[in-house]
Amino acid sequence: MLLKRLLVGLPLKTAQAVHERLSKRLALAVFSSDALSSVAYATEEILLVLILAGAAAVSWSIPISLMIVLLLTILTLSYQQIIYEYPLGGGAYIVARSNIGELSGLTAAASLMIDYVLTVSVSVAAGIAALTSAVPGLFAHRQALCLAAILLVLVVNLRGVRESGRIFAVPTYFFISMILVMLAAGSFQILTGQPGRDLVPSGNRPAPVVEGLTLFLLLRAFSSGCTALTGVEVISNGVSAFKPPEPRNASLTMAGMAVILGTLFIGISALAYHYGVLPREDETVVSQIARTAFGGGPLYYLVQVATMLILILAANSAFAGFPRLASILARDSYMPHQMAMMGDRLVFSNGVMILGAFSCLLIVLFDGDTHALIPLYAVGVFLSFTLSQAGMVRRWLAKKGPHWRKKLIVNGVGAVTTGLATLIIATTKFVHGAWIVIVLIPLIIMWFRAIHAHYVAVAEQIALERDHRPPPPRRNTVVIPISGVNRAVVRAVDYARTHSSDIRAVLVNVEKEETALTEIKWAQWGCGVHLVVLPSPYRSVLGSLLDYIEELLKKDPDGWVTVVIPEILPARWWQNILHNQRALMLKAALLFKERVILTDVPFHLER
**How many Cβ atoms from other residues are within 10 Å of residue 427's Cβ?**
14
The dihedral built from the CA positions of residue 499, 503, 509 and 513, taken in this order, carries a sign that is positive
Secondary structure letter of residue 280 according to DSSP: -
> pLDDT tens digits for 63-114?
999 999 999 999 898 888 888 888 876 678 888 998 999 999 999 999 888 8
For domain 2-8+22-204+218-326+345-447, say whether CATH 3.20.20.210 is its number. Answer: no
Contact 401, 58 (CB under 8 A): no
Tens digits of residue pLDDT in 222-272: 888 888 887 787 788 778 778 888 888 999 999 999 999 999 999 999 999
Residue 283 is predicted with a pLDDT of 80
Q: Return residue ranges of the chain for CATH 1.20.1740.10.
A: 2-8+22-204+218-326+345-447
Radius of gyration (C-alpha) of the chain in whole angstroms: 32
What is the Cα–Cα distance from 303 to 283, expressed in whole angstroms? 13
User: How does residue 316 score in pLDDT terms, banded at 50, 70 and 90?
Assistant: confident
- The answer to whether 270 and 62 are in contact (CB under 8 A) is yes
Domain(s) labelled CATH 3.40.50.620 in the chain stretch across: 476-604
pLDDT of 162 higher than 80 = no
Determine the straight-line distance between the first and last CA of the chain, rounded to whole angstroms: 21
Q: Is-above-0.75 flag for pTM?
A: no
For the domain spanning 476-604, the CATH number is: 3.40.50.620
Asked if 139 contacts 129 with a C-beta cutoff of 8 angstroms, the reply is no
Backbone phi, then psi, for 151, in 5-degree steps?
Answer: -65, -40
37 compared with 202, residue with greater pLDDT: 37
What pLDDT is attached to residue 14? Answer: 42
Q: Would you say 187 and 179 are in contact if contact means Cβ atoms under 8 Å apart?
A: no
As a whole number, the mean pLDDT across the chain is 83
For 200-217, what is the mean pLDDT? Answer: 65
Compute the average pLDDT of residues 149-163. 74
- pLDDT confidence of residue 293: 87
Q: Which amino acid would we find at residue 235? A: I
> Span 4-29, mean pLDDT?
58
Please report the sign of the dihedral spanned by the C-alpha atoms of residue 216, residue 217, residue 220, residue 226: negative
Name the band, by pLDDT with cuts 50, 70 and 90, for residue 205. Answer: low
Host H or E run for residue 507: strand 503-509
Query: Which pLDDT score, from 0 to 100, does residue 447 have?
Result: 94
